[in-house]
Amino acid sequence: MNSRREFMVRSGLVLGSLAIPRAMGAALGVGTGINPIGLQLYTVRHALQADMEGTLAKVAAVGYREVELAGLMGHTPAAVRRLLDRLGLAAPSMHVPFGTLDAGWDAVIDDARTLGCRYVVVPSIPDELRTSLDSYRQVAQRFNRAAEVAAKSGVQFAYHNHAVDFAPIGRRVPYDLLLDATDPNLVHIELDLYWVMRAGHDALRYFNRWPGRCRLVHVKDSAPAPDYQMRDVGAGIVNWAPLLAAARQAGTEHFIVEHDEAAVPLASIAASFAYLRELKLPALPRHRGRLKQSLARWTAKDVPLPDLCQRLKAIGYDAIDLLTPDEWDVAAAAGLTCSLEYPARRDRFIQNGFNDPANHPMLLAELERSIPLAAKAGVPNLIAMFGNRHGASEADDKAACVAGLTRIAPLAERHGVTICVELLNSKIDHAGYEGDHTAFGVDVVQAVGSLRVKLLYDIYHMQIMEGDVIRTIQENIPWIAHFHTGGVPGRHEIDASQELNYRAVAKAIAETGFTGYVAHEFVPVGEPFAAFADAYGIFEV
């Protein structure tokens, strides 16, 4: 970020001029592809400084029709506009330094209008304003005021994220707070998909939780952990087709290629353009309600699997939980996904977890074998365990979990499979289990910092251990990838016979923008399929 700030200063972005930071995006049309495709000019900043007209001509020759400005290289806004027009380029957005919010904001708006920019984007917040949640709240108010001024002139305001915006403060994600504290009608989002992923978070949740606010995205790819080096689009681990389809569905207008440190920038932008030009966006799968629902296989173990799958599909279920690999095809034939799988069937699966380093060779071997198979079969999640206490300190056990899960995260990221480490109660069902409080699990997955290592939050177990499940879910949803349900007491139906209001729980989960599966895992007392249908109805929100 410091290099970007220095670049903006060197580019002459002062009070009365316009900033040119990152690649500008393309609006997605009604068809199956992306058109046009935009470029953040920060990618070719050095070439622009040497030869602005020649570099822009090369950008246009690649096929780009939109650019996002990141400084004017000493040229006037009028001169840049004439150059863009001559080359057949449009600049729907521009980046401007945070400091212009306090001095020169009117001049920035005037420059945006001259350049034809619909969006003025602040690309980062000074580090000294990231020290507390209160400081983020103060930034939110400054954004609101600036956005209100811009709107009066027909210009829209947006904020561009970096990974640091997701670094937890007091177990809260500052970026989420910033979005909650800003006016959704005035302050929009330019979601940098690389930095979201690099911070270990799910861009899909932001599309779901704040639909209509993400008007622009930065499209940049990544190598897997541990280095996460930027890659040309299509040359990394991001599964672009469903991600960009979800962005378009959520209201994204401009899709902007960027590579901060490309070795050969012009070759990089050509490769990214070629990939996106051929990319076809799929129709997103539809399910009733806002939540994808699944059912744990063992809850109806006496029902033949083909019959179970067909009846669940008829109810509306999207998936079935906890199958073995030889059963995946049966679910697929009925139109269901296997939403969560064991990497191995063995004794003491729960007790022998990642908290004991002695278990790591076995656990890693199981996951290394299972992750590619799951990815090939379209199974999104594998279950893992923290394990039983074994005499070490809690701090040492957390460190062991982090170390082991960090080793497997790169493979999971490459294949797009999420490892879901389960929270269980130690009071009634699993005496000695260490991952028996949300805080323990959150500390571990936060430290791992991977999009593909998250929690399986079992509502039944956590109600027994700590209660207050709705608030706990709301505060910790960034680190939860999968849910299990069950009635308390007894792990029976999730109806009015037990102590949780599951309708309220379902609504709370949906309103977080959760993108994973809710799997019902209870023991029916009465007719099983009536109970399964009732559970589905409760979560059909």
pLDDT at 18 over 60: no
Q: What is the DSSP letter of 436?
A: -
Residues of the domain holding 119 = 2-278
Q: Distance of alpha carbon 463 from its chain centroid, rounded? A: 27
pLDDT at 512 over 50: yes
On whether both 401 and 449 belong to a single domain, the answer is: yes
On whether both 240 and 352 belong to a single domain, the answer is: no
Asked if 485 contacts 519 with a C-beta cutoff of 8 angstroms, the reply is yes
- In a domain, residue 285? The reply is no
Where are the alpha helices (H) located in 158-231, listed in sequence order? 174-181, 193-198, 203-209
Confidence of residue 308 (pLDDT cuts 50, 70, 90): very high
CB atoms within 10 A of CB 333: 11
- Lowest mean pLDDT segment, chosen from 19-23, 54-58, 177-181, 485-489: 19-23
Confidence of residue 526 (pLDDT cuts 50, 70, 90): confident
Q: How confident is the model at residue 12, as a pLDDT?
A: 36
Amino acid at 283: A
On whether both 31 and 173 belong to a single domain, the answer is: yes
Q: How far apart are CA 419 and CA 413, in angstroms?
A: 10
Sole residue written with tokens 């904001």: 105
Please state the domain count of the chain: 2
Short-list 525, 516, 83, CA closest to 539:
516
Q: Where among 233, 261, 278 does a domain terminate?
A: 278
Residue 149, both tokens: 């001024």
Q: How far apart are CA 446 and CA 475, in angstroms?
A: 13
Q: What is the mean pLDDT of residues 500-517?
A: 97
On whether both 381 and 252 belong to a single domain, the answer is: no
Q: How confident is the model at residue 31, as a pLDDT?
A: 42
Residue 293, both tokens: 């629902």
Dihedral sign computed on CA atoms, order 413, 417, 419, 420: positive
Confidence of residue 442 (pLDDT cuts 50, 70, 90): very high
Residue 240, both tokens: 């672009």
On whether both 435 and 510 belong to a single domain, the answer is: yes
On whether both 320 and 217 belong to a single domain, the answer is: no
pLDDT at 8 over 50: no
Pairing outcome for strands 230-231 and 221-222: antiparallel
Q: What is the DSSP letter of 482?
A: E
Q: Where among 278, 296, 323 does a domain terminate?
A: 278
> Element (H or E) spanning 59, and its range?
helix 52-62
Q: What is the mean pLDDT of residues 278-304?
A: 90
**Coil, strand, or helix at residue 250?**
coil
Q: What is the DSSP letter of 285?
A: P
Q: How far apart are CA 466 and CA 98, in angstroms?
A: 42
pLDDT at 444 over 80: yes
Task: Say what the pTM is.
Answer: 0.89
Dihedral sign computed on CA atoms, order 143, 145, 150, 154: positive
Asked if 203 contacts 451 with a C-beta cutoff of 8 angstroms, the reply is no
- In a domain, residue 229? The reply is yes
The 10s digit of each residue's pLDDT in 97-156 is 999 998 899 999 999 999 999 999 999 999 999 999 999 999 999 999 999 999 999 999
On whether both 501 and 437 belong to a single domain, the answer is: yes
Short-list 152, 143, 142, 71, CA closest to 113:
152
- In a domain, residue 385? The reply is yes
The residues facing 93 across adjacent strands are 68, 119
% of the chain exceeding 90 in pLDDT: 89
On whether both 214 and 79 belong to a single domain, the answer is: yes
On whether both 354 and 230 belong to a single domain, the answer is: no
Asked if 316 contacts 535 with a C-beta cutoff of 8 angstroms, the reply is no
Asked if 439 contacts 404 with a C-beta cutoff of 8 angstroms, the reply is no
| Rounded (5°) CA angle 358-228-397 | 25
- In a domain, residue 152? The reply is yes
Residue 69, phi then psi, degrees to nearest 5? -80, 150
Dihedral sign computed on CA atoms, order 364, 461, 515, 446: negative
- In a domain, residue 306? The reply is no
On whether both 262 and 357 belong to a single domain, the answer is: no
On whether both 364 and 489 belong to a single domain, the answer is: yes
Residue 471, both tokens: 């608030």
CB-based burial of residue 315 (10 Å sphere; 0-12 exposed, 13-18 middle, 19+ buried)? middle
Q: What is the DSSP letter of 227?
A: T
Residue 76, both tokens: 């006037």
**Buried residues in 463-485 as b, exposed as e (16+ CB within 10 A):** bbbeeebbebbebbbbbbbbbbb
Better-predicted residue by pLDDT, 14 or 403: 403
On whether both 389 and 271 belong to a single domain, the answer is: no
Short-list 415, 505, 43, CA closest to 258:
43
Q: What is the mean pLDDT of residues 78-99?
A: 97
Q: What is the mean pLDDT of residues 447-454?
A: 95
**Coil, strand, or helix at residue 371?**
helix
> Element (H or E) spanning 456, and its range?
strand 453-458
- In a domain, residue 489? The reply is yes
Q: How confident is the model at residue 32, as a pLDDT?
A: 67
- In a domain, residue 158? The reply is yes
Residue 225, phi then psi, degrees to nearest 5? -60, 155
The pLDDT mean for the chain works out to 92
**Buried residues in 112-143 as b, exposed as e (16+ CB within 10 A):** beebebbbbbbbbbeeeebeeeebbeebbebb
Q: How confident is the model at residue 82, as a pLDDT?
A: 97
Residue 173 sits in a domain whose CATH number is: 3.20.20.150
The 10s digit of each residue's pLDDT in 161-194 is 999 999 999 888 999 999 999 999 999 999 999 9
Q: Tell me whether the omega of the peptide bond preceding residue 265 falls within 30 degrees of 0, making it cis.
A: no
Q: Tell me whether the omega of the peptide bond preceding residue 36 falls within 30 degrees of 0, making it cis.
A: yes
- In a domain, residue 330? The reply is yes
